[in-house]
């Protein structure tokens, strides 16, 4: 008699179902995500609520009330949206959640970060099946638009009375895959500055040598930024203890202006993506940029698309009982944690920005970093292991006696 194939774990099936919802930027209709999460709440036995801070941008919160509802709660956050795909570059349908013979599940969002949202829920499902009761209330949030800055999502939500009513004391959010045995833990983020530097100049015919041209000014500005970029690059190369999040990164991302090849334009604009390290004084950096602009010539001005303030990192020491509880549980599981400053940006910055401690952690080791990449995938065994990890971490945090 032929042996039947092993049945797929229900958690994996739920994960793949969620991945098949094409909540891809831009212009997302989140209804299918909301309906899926409502079904999950009903099947697990969690309270379900949808908050609206911006029309068409729902914030979904599933709640497991603790034995002491007055105690500050734990927020487990994830985002519903994913970045665009180039289907011709994928060997599998990017929204098919296809699983190969090795158990690799291919889909946009498999690492960033639909995996984590489902892992939260499946860990809670397991705990409830064991009749576990926790001291603190757990809120599992699914937010919109993180991939485009979270402006209409978490950034607004943390300023509302609805968020205040959740009584959050500590939050967890996304991290990143690790290709080796280690698990990366993020406790802070650099400040994003997107600068549009407008360089006006003398227009005219392309055959002339005109004074004070936009091109000359742009060259000066680019040289200054790129010289600083090189210094930061060398700093990273010379010190193996430093990670990307420890230095300031600078990238020229756009050049704008001009009408045709034989016309000297009246203005050129250069755009830089700058991520300021935690040790950079923002006022001094801005003064330096303004000085460069004055040196480059008359009329130059800076427009900030983003200019994020300094946000204090979450402390990883004895003053933070949440960290101590998290670390102790990871030590019990023999997880090798590597604390870092997150090199990009997540919704954690808005949570930390209102004074709450937050850690970024995605339990994905032995996994190549493929967020935003073609053929993004997560192996089902790694996914299931992540559920086990949260099944231990969540009670450790939720049963912590009040740290205040």
As annotated, the active-site residues are 81, 146
Task: Report d(CA 23, CA 33) in Å as an integer.
Answer: 8
Phi, psi (deg, nearest 5) at residue 360:
-100, 120
- How far apart CA 321 and CA 404 sit, in angstroms, is 10
| SS3 per-residue string spanning the chain | CCCCCCCCCHHHHHHHHHHCCCCECCCCCCHHHHHHHHHHHHHHCCEEEEEECCCCCEEEEEEECCCCCCCCEEEEEEECCECCCCHHHCCCCCCCCEECCCCEEECCCCCCCHHHHHHHHHHHHHHHHCCCCCCCCEEEEEECCHHHCCCCCHHHHCCCHHHHHCCEEEEEECCCCCCCCCEEEEEEECEEEEEEEEEECCCEECCCCCCCCHHHHHHHHHHHHHHHHHHHHHHHHHCCCCCHHHCCEEEEEEEEECCCCCEECCEEEEEEEEEECCCCCHHHHHHHHHHHHHHHCCCCEEEEEEECCCCCCCCCCCCCHHHHHHHHHHHHCCCCEEEEEECCCCCHHHHHHCCCCEEEECCCCCCCCCCCCCCCEEEHHHHHHHHHHHHHHHHHHHCCCCCC
């Amino acid at each position: 008699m032929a042996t039947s194939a092993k049945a797929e774990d229900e958690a994996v099936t739920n994960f793949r179902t969620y991945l098949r919802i094409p909540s891809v930027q831009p212009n997302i209709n989140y209804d299918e995500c909301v309906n899926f999460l409502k079904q999950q709440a009903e099947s697990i036995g969690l309270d379900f609520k949808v908050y609206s801070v911006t029309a068409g941008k729902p914030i979904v919160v599933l709640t497991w009330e603790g034995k002491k509802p007055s105690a500050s709660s734990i927020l487990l956050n994830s985002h519903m949206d994913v970045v665009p795909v180039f289907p011709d570059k994928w060997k599998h349908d990017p929204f098919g959640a296809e699983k190969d013979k090795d158990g690799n599940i291919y889909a946009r969002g498999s690492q960033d970060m639909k995996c984590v949202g489902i892992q939260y829920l499946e860990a809670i499902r397991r705990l409830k099946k064991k009749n576990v009761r926790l001291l603190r209330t757990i809120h599992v949030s699914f937010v919109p638009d993180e991939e485009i800055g979270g402006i209409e999502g978490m950034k607004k939500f943390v300023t509302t009375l609805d968020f205040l009513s959740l009584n959050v004391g500590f939050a967890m959010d996304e991290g990143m895959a690790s290709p080796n045995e280690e698990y990366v833990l993020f406790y802070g983020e650099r400040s994003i500055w997107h600068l549009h530097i407008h360089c006006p100049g003398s227009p005219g015919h392309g055959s002339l040598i005109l004074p004070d041209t936009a091109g000359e000014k742009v060259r000066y500005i680019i040289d200054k930024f790129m010289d600083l970029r090189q210094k930061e690059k060398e700093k990273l190369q010379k010190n193996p203890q430093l990670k990307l999040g420890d230095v300031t990164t600078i990238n020229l991302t756009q050049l704008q202006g001009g009408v045709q090849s034989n016309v000297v334009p009246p203005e050129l604009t250069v755009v830089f993506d700058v991520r300021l390290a935690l040790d950079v004084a923002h006022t001094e950096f801005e003064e330096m940029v303004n000085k460069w602009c004055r040196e480059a010539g008359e009329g130059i001005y800076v427009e900030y698309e983003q200019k994020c303030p300094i946000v204090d990192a979450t402390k990883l020491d004895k003053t933070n009982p949440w960290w101590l509880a998290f670390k102790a549980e990871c030590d019990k599981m023999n997880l090798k944690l590597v604390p870092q400053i997150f090199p990009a940006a997540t919704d954690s910055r808005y949570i930390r920005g209102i004074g709450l401690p937050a850690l970024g952690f995605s339990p994905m080791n032995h996994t190549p970093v493929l967020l935003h990449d073609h053929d993004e995938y997560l192996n089902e065994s790694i996914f299931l292991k992540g559920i086990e990890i949260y099944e231990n971490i969540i009670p450790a945090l939720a049963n912590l006696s009040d740290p205040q």
